[in-house]
Amino acid sequence: MNLSAELIAILGLTGLTLVTVAALTVRWFHLHSVGTLSALQTAALRLKAGERAVQVDPRGPKSLRQFTELFNQMSTEVTLRDELLEKRMLARNAELLDALTKLKSTSDMLMQHEKMASLGRLAAGVAHEINNPTGYLLSNLTTLEGYVAYLVRLAAAGDEAVAAARAGAAPSDPAFRDYLAIRDSDDLKFVVGDLTQLLGDSQRGANRIRDIVQGLRNFAHTDATVPVSCDVDQIVRDSLRVVGGKLKGFKVETTYGNPPQVLAVPGRLEQVFVNLFSNAGDALESPGASEKGTIWVHTWNSGDEVFVAVRDNGAGIAPEVRDRIFEPFFTTKEVGAGTGLGLSISLGILEESGGTLTVDSEPGSGVCFTVRLPALTELEDAS
């Protein structure tokens, strides 16, 4: 009986020992394995979130330590790979920025080239526009030269007559006779009246030349690239002045609606309208155009948008051509008569200001180009 009790006691003690060892083993596994797995899970989430160089302390059983070391190696490789990709991306971004800068420079050069080409095509008309006021200025100067010579002789004779009168000379004195002879040699009243008219005409001619030159300067100006508040009606007037010589033989009807101002680069916006007016003039010179060539220009606004329509009664545009007119370098003109960039550049200029350029035409019914630009709000104007 005693032996059995002792055996039972030994077995019980052994069982308790085994349970204790098992509990300690589970506790150790929990501390070193489950904790490591939790750390690995957290590290994986950090790596996924974009954090780099994430490392976990290898602990626990050998297999778990090996797995942790593999994770650390992978994290290091991911970090190195991302750093390499970042360097490549920065280099690529620098290349793209350089390409964009060159593209912008090329675009500006093409825009200026088209502008100068337009000026070249308009040169004869501009020369004619300047030659007319210059001609009557020179004619007026010749007439003024004769009038001034007459008035100088009359003033000199008057001085001598005044001196003779003060000296008590008789009315028959030669000084008086000379004065009257010079005075009666021309119509003094007519000369004085004509002088006023000649000076007024000369001033208007000089102003006309000044306006033409100023318009050309504004049109050819390349430095201004910052958008400012623009009066569309005034820019349309300036553009018509630049192409006035080209449109000399046609009727131009304008209807100004006094729309709100827009935000744009004045010289570039003027380039758009010079292109449209010049193209309208070319259309009226083409076969199939109306004998009484007319260009209608209308400005207006609808809500917070400003519109300018340029319409002609030329031969119109065929559908297959109309679909391509905004393509760079596409032109229906003869070689040397156009670059094929005018409408493409005009569209690009308007899009830079948030606008559009549309065309409506059928063969035999003329062409209507419509410019749309967002109106400048009071808030934008104040800023």
Rounded mean pLDDT of the chain? 76
Residue 311 has pLDDT above 90, yes or no: yes
- Assigned token pair, 170: 């008789």
- Assigned token pair, 45: 């989430």
pLDDT for res 279: 86
- Assigned token pair, 228: 């400012």
Residue 15 has pLDDT above 80, yes or no: no
- Assigned token pair, 124: 């004869």
pLDDT for res 381: 54
Confidence of residue 253 (pLDDT cuts 50, 70, 90): very high
Closest CA to 236 of 264, 210, 270: 270
Backbone torsion region of residue 250, taken as left when φ is above 0, otherwise alpha when ψ lies between -120 and 50, otherwise beta: beta
Mean predicted confidence (pLDDT) in 339-345: 72
Q: What percent of the chain has pLDDT over 70?
A: 67
More confident residue, 124 or 168: 168
B/e letters for 315-333, b = 16+ CB within 10 Å, e = fewer, are: bbbeeeebeebbeeeebee
- Assigned token pair, 349: 């200029």
Q: Give the DSSP H or E segment for 302.
A: strand 294-302
Residue 340 near residue 330 (C-beta atoms within 8 A)? yes
Give the model confidence (pLDDT) of 104-155 as tens digits. 666 666 655 566 655 555 555 566 567 667 776 787 788 788 878 877 877 7
pTM for this prediction: 0.53
More confident residue, 72 or 207: 72
Confidence of residue 318 (pLDDT cuts 50, 70, 90): confident
Residue 284, C-beta contacts closer than 8 angstroms, at least 6 positions apart: 250, 290, 293, 294, 295, 312, 313, 314
Residue 241 has pLDDT above 70, yes or no: yes
More confident residue, 32 or 49: 49
Report CA 348 to chain centroid distance, whole Å.
Answer: 8
Instruction: Select the CATH number that applies to the domain covering 224-383 from these four: 3.40.50.10470, 3.40.50.1100, 3.30.565.10, 2.40.30.10.
Output: 3.30.565.10
Confidence of residue 262 (pLDDT cuts 50, 70, 90): very high
Residue 232 has pLDDT above 90, yes or no: yes
- Assigned token pair, 106: 């090329």
Give the model confidence (pLDDT) of 62-82 as tens digits. 777 777 788 788 878 888 888
The Cα 223–Cα 231 span in angstroms is: 20
pLDDT for res 382: 46
Q: What is the DSSP letter of 83?
A: H
